[in-house]
Structure 1
Amino acid sequence: MESKRGKFGTWLRNSITARMLIVGFLLIVLLIPLEFVKSLIAERSFRQAEVVREINSKWGNEVIVSGPIIKVPYKTFKSVRVYEEDTKTYKTTNEETIKYAYFFPDVLDITSEVTTQERNRSIYESVVYTASMEVKGNFPAIDFATTDIASEHIIWDKITVLIKTSNLKGIRNTPVVYMQEQALSMTPQYATDYLNTIQSGYIEGLSEATKSIPFSFHLEINGSERLQFIPIGKETTAQMNSNWHSPSFDGNFLPDSDSKTISSEGFSAAWKVLQINRQFEQAFFGHLPDLKEYAFGTTLVIPVDEYQKSERTAKYGFMVIGITLLVFLLIQLVSKIYIHPFQYVMIGIALVMFYTLLLSISEHSTFFKAYLIAALSVLALITVYSRAILKGFKFPLLIGTSLASLYSFIYVIIQLENYALLAGSIGLFVILAIIMFASRKIDWGNE
């Protein structure tokens, strides 16, 4: 029995195949703590999103706002047959129902000044804003000519104006719409859809003879993350100026390219949307649809997302651990120095520790500083440890250089966006070529 154990131990110690199997097995085992690290990064990222949502909800969530909409009530009649018990006959009556028509402006012009603030809670950061909006334009004549609604059935003295918005909580002033030389105060109305409604009192003096209806109002509103407008005008123009330096223009329409400027001091952008550009008409009868899908505007982006970069870095963990253990294996085969499986495990755990160091330090500093500190710490630890294993300075220096090159390569990749795949593919090809070149003189006969 002892003889068999001795032969097996000698085979494990001297066989190239046995060493490769052991290193491969250890690499698979080390994927377990690496997955725990990825789970930790995801958990911290989720916590950040949760805190940001909480900050934003207290200040004001994203803002979607429409221009004013004229709401005109009108009567409709439906014939109803009612059975009369006394006469044993049916009697036909006209049942009156009040419905509403909604008319959009011909011209809608929005000018917004967006002032941002950074809000912090513990280690987490969010950006919120206050938008000061000046809205003006004009409505066309109220026209029921395309319908079968008679003029006498239109309730002219009960016409109101309404504005749709996603964020009543964030409004900082009582909006007053100036129309027909009247100042119309707005009050909230109950709504079941995503966009809430604020509505005015009755507008006086409107009739079929009214040809054009100018309007204007001022709105101060707190929000976070995103500010968007719904282009309900036959011609909608919007201008947005802000002190925020990292906007992302999104929604259904992008700003005019020649009007867009972005700098470290802020940004400015302008949009022009015509009725022909979107798929809805200028008047609705009976029901006002939800038009938020046509909104356009800006998302205020916090440009540095440390968790996203840490997650991208961790995705290369398998490659870093695999290549490092492979370098040690090649050195072992070339130098004939025996490296115990326990030592491989210690090296692998040190490599996994890089990601926990990166995550924890990046929460309190910039990603570059965190990456540099974590990489230098792990690099120094493994280089010193390999000096104790391999003796001399030649192989530890090779390992230190290889790790430094690998960490530098990965840092460059995660900074790239459009060329990340190209750079990664070329880099992996170069690494494969180096390994093939370095292993060409190894005697693989000792199985």
Structure 2
Amino acid sequence: METQKQKKSFGQWIKTSVTIRMLMVGILILVLLIPLSYIKLLIQERAERQQEVIREINQKWGNEVILYGPILKIPYQIHNPQKLWNEETKSYIVEDKITIKNAYILPNTLNIDSDVDVDSENLKRGIYKSAVFTADMDIQGAFTTPDFETKDIDQEDILWNKATIVLNSTNLKGIKSNLQVQLGLETYSLRSRYSQNNHTNTLETKFLKETSLPKEKTINFTINLKINGSENLQFIPVGRETNVVMKSNWCSPSFNGAHLPDSKTRTLGPDGFKVNWNVMETNREFEQEFYGELPQLSSAAFGVELLIPVDDYQKSERTAKYGYLVIALTFLVFFLIQTISKINIHPFQYLMIGLALTMFYTLLISISEHSSFLYAYLIAGTSVILLISVYSKAILRSLKFMGLISTSLIALYAFIFVIIQLEDYALLVGSIGLFLILGTIMMVSRKIEWGS
């Protein structure tokens, strides 16, 4: 009889002990970290799948575009006298060994007028889409007479008859027009040439005619280029003075690279943007002429990146990072209600509430793939709040407590939504919000009789 009473009293202590309840709630929170970790992996997997599909779309349409040129290429001779022993005469003879190198002359002026038409709806695969564009460019400028004397190159060593125009681009596949350059009064076609440079592809003309060479006067050039690309459009400021005007119907540009557009003339609105770059020779880190090899100058490129306005996977991932906080605070509210009202809540019921909270993130991911993030957040949040509110009414048997649970969840989800929308002030707002939440909990719990 005494043993049964001891067992009964021990079982009653287990049910009523605040310490035991706290330990069980803590263990359940740790257990729920497992499905939360799987949800984070799911978000990462879907995001990687998105990037994979976007890469496939871009490869077929046209990758990012970096334009490098046009540049005047002029071969020249270098004399290397060498002493050779002649067995017949038993004396040294001097033989002139000639090697051919190239001089790359950058244009004196370079003006680019670019009209970038973005239509991401035309290139979608399933639920994924990429920011692809078609750019119509009008490229104009002029070459002045190069000064070979600074390199001690005699005029008779300059092979003017082998001079050509070269144009480098990272995306030859995207070119959608017969590319020609008008040089003076002559027109030359640009053809693909093999290049050992893995970063760019080379287009080059045939040998230029005498009337197209800037031997004694400035020669103007014009190129009309239509090219497909994706995400990035950039230019290398090869002109002594480079002016680029770009307009587009895309409303989410990110101006990047070594130079930013003129802020005074920049216009940006819901219908697109129009910007202007002006880069002088003194603003860049390379000279106007290269002898021997043409270097890689991609570090000097500038332009625009066409951003997808909403990255739902990134926002979902940021939301999931607060999953621990949501579960812990929700359990804490139920625990305080249980302690104050003396209503017993079974650990299994805590587990069901925790699983309902984790379902929010799977709903958010799946709905946001087919709708906007805002609608997905509202639908997922409303569904979970209603589910937990109805469940709390059943286990707590009180409309007052159900209202408290609903209000707490609404405030918590609204707080998290505000945080993930912020960039610069997310940490500040989050810290202030958590401080207020902690203060509220301390005020509510200060008069609770904790017992054993």
TM range (shorter): over 0.9
CA distance in 1, matches of 2:411, 2:25: 22
Give 1:94 shift. Answer: 2.2
Structure 1 match to 2:76: 74
CA distance in 2, matches of 1:90, 1:115: 68
Residue 196 (structure 1) aligned with residue 201 (structure 2): yes
Change (3 A) 1:443 1:284: same
CA contact under 8 A between 1:67 and 1:135: conserved in structure 2?
no
Give 1:66 shift. Answer: 2.1
Deviation string 1:90-112 (CA, Å, 9 cap, x unpaired) is 65422211100101011100000
Percent identical:
53
Deviation string 1:350-386 (CA, Å, 9 cap, x unpaired) is 1000000000011111111111111111101111111
Structural mapping, 1:30-429, within 5 Å: 30-82=32-84, 91-118=93-120, 119-193=123-197, 194-205=199-210, 209-429=215-435
Structure 2 unaligned residues grouped into runs of 5+: none
Give 1:418 shift. Answer: 2.0
Residue 21 (structure 1) aligned with residue 23 (structure 2): yes
1:397 maps to amino acid: G
- SS at 1:96 equivalent: strand
Change (3 A) 1:245 1:438: same
CA distance in 1, matches of 2:381, 2:32: 19
Deviation string 1:259-304 (CA, Å, 9 cap, x unpaired) is 1111111111000001111100000000110011111111111101
Change (3 A) 1:231 1:4: farther
CA distance in 2, matches of 1:196, 1:131: 18
Give 1:28 shift. Answer: 1.2
CA contact under 8 A between 2:248 and 2:273: conserved in structure 1?
yes
- SS at 1:164 equivalent: strand
CA contact under 8 A between 2:143 and 2:214: conserved in structure 1?
no
Give the TM-score, by structure 2 length: 0.95
Deviation string 1:424-444 (CA, Å, 9 cap, x unpaired) is 111111111110011011112
Give the TM-score, by structure 1 length: 0.96
CA contact under 8 A between 1:252 and 1:296: conserved in structure 2?
yes
1:219 maps to amino acid: L
Structure 2 match to 1:432: 438
- SS at 2:442 equivalent: helix
Change (3 A) 1:320 1:160: same
CA distance in 1, matches of 2:352, 2:293: 69
CA distance in 2, matches of 1:278, 1:66: 14
2:390 maps to amino acid: V
- SS at 1:146 equivalent: helix
Name which of structure 1's ranges 276-285 and 300-309 shifts more when overlaid on structure 2: 300-309
- SS at 1:338 equivalent: coil
Name which of structure 1's ranges 379-388 and 78-87 shifts more when overlaid on structure 2: 78-87
CA distance in 2, matches of 1:82, 1:309: 74
Change (3 A) 1:140 1:15: same
CA distance in 1, matches of 2:107, 2:214: 16
Structure 1 unaligned residues grouped into runs of 5+: none
How many residues of Structure 1 are paired with residues of Structure 2 in the alignment?
A: 446
